[in-house]
Structure 1
């Protein structure tokens, strides 16, 4: 097996995905005025954004308080426009669908999150992991939480419009 395939498998695995979804749902819960659950379709946007290095750079460089609109605006402001990265989120979400489902199943099994009958997810624990988190994973956790916070400030329609995706 080649080195690139090994690296992809290390990053794109359901265990990591489960933790990222948990932190996303926790960020959504914390950011929402009424401590509302996360609509299930939003979970399918997390991994394609956070695990895609070029897109994650924009998440990292956007302040939490700036929001999703500021994040999306950055794709057009670069010296070399990166609008194609924003437009590719929808296709990546389709490509990551299986990984997201496997990650969600693992997060549910591990009791990190709960899926209610309305198709909404809420965190069963909001405590951030304190020990045993590799330094390479810590930024991914933070970016997932930030994304959850941003999404909590908007409606599904606004999120879909800003990110140019169909939910």
Structure 2
């Protein structure tokens, strides 16, 4: 049986509504860059959100970088450590697969609640995201990291974003 902080963290990460809000925060960050370039928000972008912002090490790497630094900054080696900062990011593919069901539950909630909409095969959001008040520090950090990650992604081509993360195409299986 889990107790205290561990149980609280587990409950947060299992909450598909939090995932939906994180995707909304990501989409708003992404779309805020739309005037700079006409990038379209794809499913590939959205499936990357939870594996990066729910994992503590990658979330901290995102949060400690300035927004102007860009996504590539999380790949820089930290000279204080002997381990590259990006080792967690390079495990993104196994985390994408492990979080696939949770990601799609969260995306369904985001669409059902009209936080994100699907138009012509791409995602958009017309509701402005504002960080909620009176939330736990961990939840706040997840949402801030999602927004920053979206801002970075919005300034990159799809290919560049997925390549920097080391994402391999997922092979979804559909059962009829």
TM-score normalised over the length of structure 2? 0.84
Give per-residue Cα distances to partners, 1:125-148, cap 9 Å, x unaligned: 014144343343222211111000
- Seen in structure 2, the aligned counterparts of structure 1 residues 38 and 56 have a Cα distance that, compared at 3 Å, is same
Does residue 19 in structure 1 map to residue 21 in structure 2?
yes
- Please, which of 81, 86, 94 is the counterpart of residue 79 of structure 1? 81
CA distance in 1, matches of 2:167, 2:96: 9
Q: Distance in 2 between matches of 1:127 and 1:87?
A: 29
Contact residue 69 and residue 162 of structure 1 kept, 8 A: yes
Structure 2: distance between partners of 1:64 and 1:2: 36
Q: Which residue of 1 aligns with 2:174?
A: none
Report how many aligned residue pairs link the two structures.
Answer: 165
Is 1:105 the counterpart of 2:114? The answer is no
CA RMSD after TM alignment:
2.0
1:28–1:38 contact (8 Å) kept in structure 2: yes
- What SS does the corresponding residue of 2:23 show, helix, strand or coil? helix
Check the 8 A contact 1:12/1:51 in 2, yes or no: no
Q: Is the 1:29–1:35 Cα contact (8 Å) retained in structure 2?
A: no
Which among 47, 52, 66 is matched to residue 50 of structure 2? Answer: 47
Cα distance in structure 1, aligned partners of 2:8 and 2:134: 22
Separation of aligned partners in 2, 1:94 and 1:73: 25
Distance (whole Å) between structure 1 residues aligned to residue 165 and residue 91 of structure 2 = 9
* Unmatched segments (≥5 aa) in structure 2: 170-176
**How far 1:6 sits from its partner (Å)?**
5.8
Aligned residue among 59, 63, 84 for 1:60:
63
1:137 correspondence with 2:139: yes
Structure-2 residue corresponding to 1:94: 97
The TM-score normalised by the length of structure 1 is 0.88
Identify which range, 133-142 or 15-24, moves more after superposition: 133-142
